[in-house]
Amino acid sequence: MTINAASKKTLKQRLQESSAVLAPGVYDSLTALIAAQAGFETLYLSGASIAYNLLGRSDIGLTTVTEVTEVLAHITDRVPCSVIVDGDTGFGNALNVQRTVRDLERAGAAMIQLEDQTFPKRCGHLDGKTVVPIKEMCGKLKAALDARKSEDTLILARTDALHVEGIEAAFERAEAYLECGIDALFIEALRTPGELDRACAQFAQRTPLLANMVEGGKTPLESAAQLEQRGFRIVIFPGGTTRFVAAGLARYYASLKQHQTTAPMGAEMLDFDGLNALLGTPELLELGRRYGA
């Protein structure tokens, strides 16, 4: 399968349009390729999903900037999509943030997300989070904005303060981060439709606002169309890919253990030729022949 990249817009250009950007979560080049073939132009590289799939561990701050950068570079080499990258806390202080931004920008990030949790962080829908002072986070955001080479590389500020300090404090932080000059805003783990609407009422007319849909998380699950109607401009489903794959693999391995063959799962699998068609193996072999490889 091929992916049409002829009319690719930057994410910055795309956010000037009226419709919301729907970005599925990916965690490697294969998931990115399949999402691109399904027609998605923007992807979300989830730090949690990198931890789940690369380390087989929970999202509690165990990944490194080097690991995230390497995964991102493989994805942007494979697909022409814009990628929103979860940069966690920036992996340290303001100077670490600058290195993180430079590394992720070189690897092809269209938007880099930075959050105000302490380091090491944890998943935004887990309890027990803590946040840094507003002044410290503002310094990190200004460092990020200074570090980027291109203004087409967008900086997304995320606050996790709602479950730590309450919604008023979270909105206060969001206002402060907006004043730093960031390009988009993410208030994590809003709990009710009313809180979703409050966030949009205060911020959606001034900056692109991101809605995070986590299956079984603290925020009510809604469609991108519903969230767009509320005022959100970016909608992500960051971990749905991993949850779907994990459920499917659990069934696959249980069946293989029971039946000692993959035959009962055959209808749910790609065969050898089907996988090679998805990957573009015939085109790659043809390219190799052009170079005598």
Token representation of residue 93: 């202080």
Structure letter (DSSP) for residue 61:
S
pLDDT (0 to 100) of residue 6: 43
pLDDT (0 to 100) of residue 16: 95
Rounded to two decimals, what is the model's pTM? 0.95
234-268: pLDDT as tens digits: 999 999 999 999 999 999 999 999 999 999 999 99
C-alpha 30, offset from chain centre: 15
Tell me the C-alpha distance between 85 and 44, whole Å.
6
Q: Which of 144, 127, 128 is nearest to 136 (CA)?
A: 144
pLDDT (0 to 100) of residue 14: 97
Across residues 68-78, what is the average pLDDT? 98
259-278: pLDDT as tens digits: 999 999 999 999 999 999 99
**Element (H or E) spanning 47, and its range?**
helix 47-50
96-142: pLDDT as tens digits: 999 999 999 999 999 999 999 988 787 767 676 889 999 999 999 99
5 pLDDT band, cuts 50/70/90, is low
Contacts of 59 (CB under 8 A, 6+ apart): 47, 48, 51, 52, 122, 123, 126
* 7 pLDDT more than 60: no
Token representation of residue 88: 């966690």
Across residues 198-225, what is the average pLDDT? 95
Tell me the C-alpha distance between 279 and 254, whole Å.
27
pLDDT (0 to 100) of residue 118: 87
